[in-house]
Structure 1
């Protein structure tokens, strides 16, 4: 069985790695200069910052397998079997529309900025799925929404060509409860540490 294709935007990965690396450096510096007290005062805000970088830029992704497309957003994860995919779009972000008419957008594959859209050339969308007059800048090669929509669209087309059955109503949504709880705990701890640092100062 082929390995799943996992799509994450490179720009977000780079930002997250930089943020996490800086957090590690600052955490070490706080420990060296302030000792245990410095870590107690500044450790939680630093850890929370690194966690948010991971949560926003690394955790969200689009996973594509032979059986389904999975859209992992910050708070929820959507798994849509190919038989329940009605349409794939990219107007505001990679969007998977189910046979029931539900639209699921991917945090990891947003449409390009207005500036990028204005500078998009016709040849950049020439190989994107869809009719020529219906293609948008968000379908262009090299954009997060366009690249993701192309991959998802090709898998959907392969599924339909192979005679895959329609499976309406089979999409599932799961709330990312552990991540949400951990994020809340870290933010509360960070806020408490900052209040304590202000009082200490």
Structure 2
């Protein structure tokens, strides 16, 4: 991990892109139909509401993810982003979701990593950690991401770069993303006056 300065996305919801794109395409087709029939106000309203729904789908299904880099893990959920440096990561556990347990504070649940997704066999960390996993011929390997994160933590701490792996756990709310969504919601409500 220390040789690669760029963060590596471990879990994300790829189907969220499909839903956001499908919503956008349907909205564009509906808006085009309104414009072609001469209903400009309705077409603008459809565009704004389509953008609002696509933004909501993106906030809930596309943006949540778990990212690791040389300094630690970043959990981005729907409302907030939590940075856990490797030096602060005490443990990980697997419940219905993967949870990162910092040395002080409450466990951080990775919403983008439900157990159903974990069983699909994403092996990014397993390959990096070179865990021995016996794979039956008829099934894909089950990856223990929680243990893989601890292996990655130990590797980063052994590299000895305390400037990157140290520091406090930080939590930031996604003000910009939800602010944009709020502005779209206000614009969508105002657009109803055009109809």
1:50 maps to 54
* Distance in 2 between residues matched to 1:23 and 1:141, nearest whole Å: 39
Deviation at 1:34, TM superposition (A): 4.2
Structure 1 runs (4+) deviating above 4 angstroms are: 160-167
User: How many residue pairs end up in the alignment?
Assistant: 173
* Distance in 2 between residues matched to 1:16 and 1:41, nearest whole Å: 18
* Distance in 1 between residues matched to 2:152 and 2:28, nearest whole Å: 40
Aligned in 2, Cα 1:56/1:30: closer, same or farther, shift over 3 Å?
A: farther
The CA RMSD over aligned residues, in Å, is: 3.3
* Distance in 1 between residues matched to 2:89 and 2:30, nearest whole Å: 46
* Distance in 1 between residues matched to 2:147 and 2:24, nearest whole Å: 31
Aligned in 2, Cα 1:57/1:98: closer, same or farther, shift over 3 Å?
A: same
* Distance in 1 between residues matched to 2:66 and 2:44, nearest whole Å: 37
TM-score scaled by structure 1? 0.69
What pairs with 1:88-167 in structure 2 (closer than 5 Å)? 88-112=92-116, 141=142, 147=145, 149=146, 151-162=148-159, 167=166
1:38 maps to 42
Confirm or deny that 1:73 pairs with 2:77: yes
* Distance in 2 between residues matched to 1:100 and 1:106, nearest whole Å: 17
Deviation at 1:161, TM superposition (A): 4.6
Aligned in 2, Cα 1:43/1:20: closer, same or farther, shift over 3 Å?
A: closer
| From 156, 180, 183, the counterpart of 1:182 | 180
- In structure 2, the gaps of 5 or more residues are 120-125, 130-140
1:135 maps to none
Confirm or deny that 1:83 pairs with 2:87: yes
1:4 maps to 7
Encode CA deviations 1:105-162: one digit per residue, 9 max, x unaligned. Answer: 122222339xxx9xx8xxxxxx8x9xxxxxxxxxx837xxx55x45533312323454
Aligned in 2, Cα 1:23/1:90: closer, same or farther, shift over 3 Å?
A: farther
2:122 maps to none
* Distance in 2 between residues matched to 1:102 and 1:12, nearest whole Å: 28
Counterpart of 1:66 in 2: which secondary structure?
coil
CA contact (8 A) 1:78 1:172 kept: yes
Deviation at 1:4, TM superposition (A): 1.7
1:170 maps to 168
Aligned in 2, Cα 1:60/1:38: closer, same or farther, shift over 3 Å?
A: same
Aligned in 2, Cα 1:4/1:188: closer, same or farther, shift over 3 Å?
A: same
Deviation at 1:73, TM superposition (A): 1.6
CA contact (8 A) 1:61 1:72 kept: yes
